[in-house]
Amino acid sequence: MKTISNRELNVKRVFSSILLMFFLATFLNGCSKNDDPAAPPPPKIVVVDLQPVGIILDVATSHKFKAIATDENGLSIDVTNEASWSLVNNTNAIIFGVTDPALVIALAVGADDVTASYGGITSKPTTVTVVQETLTSLAVSPLNVTMLVTTTLEFKVVGKYDSGRTQDLTKESIWVSSNPTFVTMDGNIASAIKGGSTSNITATFEGMTSPDATAEIFDVIQRLEMTPAVTVLYSDDIQRYKVLAYYLNSTEPQILTNKVTWETDTSNVIAKVFPKGPAEKGYFQALLTGTAIISASYPNSLNDLIKDTKSLTVFDFFIDRIEIRPTTTSITNGTTQLYEVFAIGSNNNEYNLETDTHLNMTVSKSNLAYIEIIDFKTWRLTATGVGSLKVNAEYLGSSSGTFTDSADLVITAP
């Protein structure tokens, strides 16, 4: 009886395992083929479309087409790089790029048709027309617009050529905002970032820049605030108020003084005035004693009015006293000193008294100095001797009596 060694036994076992795996794989493969005897073919391509359709190129310019294939299931894929590109007429007006057959290069004035084929389907031909003309103008639209903060707006630009032809150059142009703090541009799309200002939008194509289109940016106003907090006026006082607008999307208020609509409910007590012209608004003059409400309103971006009001009280004005300035001084003989006279009113404000017939100034010793008017508010004293004297002022008020004041002056030898 023959004895089998362990080594021979192991070899036989490995060989048997290999045979078993081979037969198992063959069996499974056969089962797989029997289960799926014919895999379904890929969906058929039914149409190939070119984008864009019908273009006009200037001589020495180019444009890349795109081919989109759609299968019988309605699925569309970009096959630009896989498609076969052809010229229909070979007029020598255009050629394809050497490394990019979807790129059409304009060589000479004329026209030709382009097609693309994929999956046994050829697109409809699209015409490429080559011209030689000069761009004469660019027109941006819309021209003047208003935008709300956080919104966007699409601009367009149309070029006009010396041949009379016009062309949409929106995508080919470079777009710029003159005030990017308020408006930014992403291509031809403007985004309103901050309210309270304007920005000029321009498009540039082949070295030509369009005229400005203006975008005015608004934000939602939450409130208006009238300043200063002055609520008491005296007859003939003129007070200017300003308006600050606080916005939803901004932490900084904007001044709207000259843009708001100002009103008074009692015009015989408080009246709107324009001491610096109609463009400078917010001035009110107190006329008669009483009360009146002034208001400032503005249409915010939600198309409703937002308003702030202030109640004012008017009292009669009267002069409390007058003051000579400077009050005390010393000069040398032969020199001069300038004086002004101020009225201190019941409202604690001071007013420069003009050198009219109601105001008179004198010196106590005419042998030491004399005083004279030099303009509508200034007096000039000239020293003619040495010593001490008083400079006197007398003002005759229209209804509040006579007011006087004096100032000391010492004149020394040179």
Kindly state the greatest CA–CA separation across the chain.
168
- How open is the CA angle 206-207-210, to the nearest 5 degrees? 95
Confidence (pLDDT) at 305: 87
Residues forming a β-bridge with 214: 144, 200
Query: Which of these ranges, 12-21, 336-345, 402-411, has the smallest mean pLDDT?
Result: 12-21
Q: In Å, how far are 69, 168, 215, 252 from 218, measured between CA atoms?
A: 46, 29, 10, 14
Confidence (pLDDT) at 20: 52
Domain count for the chain: 4
Q: Is residue 11's pLDDT more than 50?
A: no
pLDDT per position as a tens digit, 326-374: 998 999 999 999 999 998 887 778 888 876 668 899 999 999 999 999 9
What is the DSSP pairing of strand 336-345 with strand 379-383? antiparallel
CATH number for the domain harbouring residue 352: 2.60.40.3450
Q: How far apart are CA 105 and CA 130, in angstroms?
A: 10
DSSP 8-state symbol, 147: E
Confidence (pLDDT) at 319: 83
Q: What are phi and psi of 16, to 5 degrees?
A: -65, -35
Band of pLDDT at residue 396, cut at 50, 70 and 90 = confident
Q: Which of 154, 186, 218 is the last residue of a domain?
A: 218
Is there a contact between 68 and 76 (Cβ–Cβ < 8 Å)?
A: yes
Q: Give me the mean pLDDT over the 68-74 stretch.
A: 95
Q: Which of 282, 315, 348 is the last residue of a domain?
A: 315
Structure tokens at 240: 């200017």
Q: CB 207: neighbour CB atoms within 10 A? A: 6
Confidence (pLDDT) at 317: 73
262 assigned to some structural domain: yes
Structure tokens at 67: 């081919």
pLDDT per position as a tens digit, 109-158: 999 999 999 999 999 999 999 999 899 999 999 999 999 888 999 999 99
332 assigned to some structural domain: yes
Confidence (pLDDT) at 13: 57
Q: What are phi and psi of 6, to 5 degrees?
A: -60, -35
DSSP assignment of 59-105, as one string? TT-EEE-EEEEEETTS-EEE-TTTSEEEESS--SSEEE-SS-TTEEE
Structure tokens at 281: 């608004």
Q: Is residue 163's pLDDT more than 60?
A: yes
Closest of 242, 289, 276, 291 to residue 262, by C-alpha? 242
Q: Give me the mean pLDDT over the 302-310 stretch.
A: 84
Q: How far apart are CA 63 and CA 104, in angstroms?
A: 5
pLDDT per position as a tens digit, 240-291: 999 999 888 777 888 999 999 999 999 999 999 998 899 999 999 999 999 9
Q: Give me the mean pLDDT over the 382-387 stretch.
A: 97
The domain in which residue 58 lies consists of: 45-131
CATH number for the domain harbouring residue 278: 2.60.40.1080
Q: Do 148 and 111 lie in a common domain? A: no
Q: How far apart are CA 393 and CA 410, in angstroms?
A: 17
328 assigned to some structural domain: yes
Q: How far apart are CA 270 and CA 311, in angstroms?
A: 10
The pLDDT mean for the chain works out to: 88
Q: Is residue 30's pLDDT more than 80?
A: no
39 assigned to some structural domain: no
Q: Give me the mean pLDDT over the 214-220 stretch.
A: 88
Q: Do 114 and 151 lie in a common domain? A: no
Q: Which of 218, 248, 264 is the last residue of a domain?
A: 218
Q: Do 232 and 214 lie in a common domain? A: no
Confidence (pLDDT) at 3: 47
Q: How far apart are CA 210 and CA 142, in angstroms?
A: 13
Q: Do 296 and 261 lie in a common domain? A: yes
Higher pLDDT, 58 or 70: 70
Confidence (pLDDT) at 29: 54
Q: How far apart are CA 67 and CA 48, in angstroms?
A: 7
Confidence (pLDDT) at 17: 58
Q: Is residue 302's pLDDT more than 60?
A: no
Q: Give me the mean pLDDT over the 214-221 stretch.
A: 88
Q: Give me the mean pLDDT over the 213-221 stretch.
A: 89
Band of pLDDT at residue 32, cut at 50, 70 and 90 = very low
Across 22-52, b (16+ Cβ under 10 Å) vs e yields eeeeeeeeeeeeeeeeeeeeeeebeebebee
378 HSE (CA, 13 A, CB side): 6
Q: Is residue 22's pLDDT more than 80?
A: no
6 assigned to some structural domain: no
pLDDT more than 70, % of the chain: 88
18 assigned to some structural domain: no
